[in-house]
A and B are shown apart, each in its own frame.
Chain A
Amino acid sequence: AQTVTQSQPEMSVQEAETVTLSCTYDTSESDYYLFWYKQPPSRQMILVIRQEAYKQQNATENRFSVNFQKAAKSFSLKISDSQLGDAAMYFCAYRSTGGSQGNLIFGKGTKLSVKP
């Protein structure tokens, strides 16, 4: 079974600085999708960025980018020019393309604080 691990329960960053959130996963599959979700205090789950495992190029969405290391099974999220509105829980998630393709498996989350 696949697992997703986020080893940093909490992180803090100064406004306008850069922060990297870590995520590792375990799978025997070669094709899958990885995601980062943001959950602000409003509790709405918001998709931040998506990465296809068959693509070597790292995904980028404005100030958000990932460092995808397939061999190491690592999928970190970098937030550049951090803003107060980035303060939230961030969840890393894995989705199979195989038999359990419906299921999105989440890590425990990292709580990000942004200091003004």
Chain B
Amino acid sequence: DAGVIQSPRHEVTEMGQEVTLRCKPISGHDYLFWYRQTMMRGLELLIYFNNNVPIDDSGMPEDRFSAKMPNASFSTLKIQPSEPRDSAVYFCASSSRGVRYGYTFGSGTRLTVV
């Protein structure tokens, strides 16, 4: 089991550019989550999917953020256009159906927007 795989690990981009973060969940997990971590706000849920369908996107900051899950093995989080305040660590996590389990997190993508 390779775990949850995120790419890239680090991303530095200029303000106004489009950024795409990628995630491959653990095979067989039917929940996928995108979290953002900052010093000020801690860990915030942005959006989560169940069986590839977005269930709750109320945490997505604004229309500049979008997420997709075209199949069970891949998800993207896109920011367009990016702004300096988007700088954070973005985590992807996956989970099986049983709520008794916690999530398995990826290693995160550290995004810096200059």
Contact = CB atoms under 8 A, between A and B. Distances in A.
Interface stretch (A12-20, A39-47, A67-75, A78-86): A39-47
Contact of B45 (A43, A101, A104, A109): A104
Nearest to A106: B43
B94 to A, nearest CB: 11
On chain A, which size bracket covers the interface?
20 to 34
A45 to B, nearest CB: 4
A103 interface: yes
B102 A35 contact: yes
A97 B93 CA distance: 18
Given A50-B102, A52-B100, A97-B99, A102 B108 contact: no
On chain B, which size bracket covers the interface?
20 to 34
Given A43-B107, A102-B48, A95 B43 contact: no
B50 interface: yes
A108 B47 CA distance: 19
Interface of A: 33, 35, 37, 42-45, 47, 50, 52, 91, 93, 95-97, 100-109
Given A50-B102, A101-B99, A103-B56, 4 more contacts: A43-B110, A91-B43, A104-B93, A105-B45
Interface of B: 31, 33, 42-43, 45, 48, 50, 55-56, 89, 91, 93, 95, 99-105, 107-108, 110
11 contacts: A42-B107, A43-B110, A44-B105, A45-B91, A45-B108, A47-B102, A47-B104, A100-B56, A102-B48, A103-B45, A104-B103
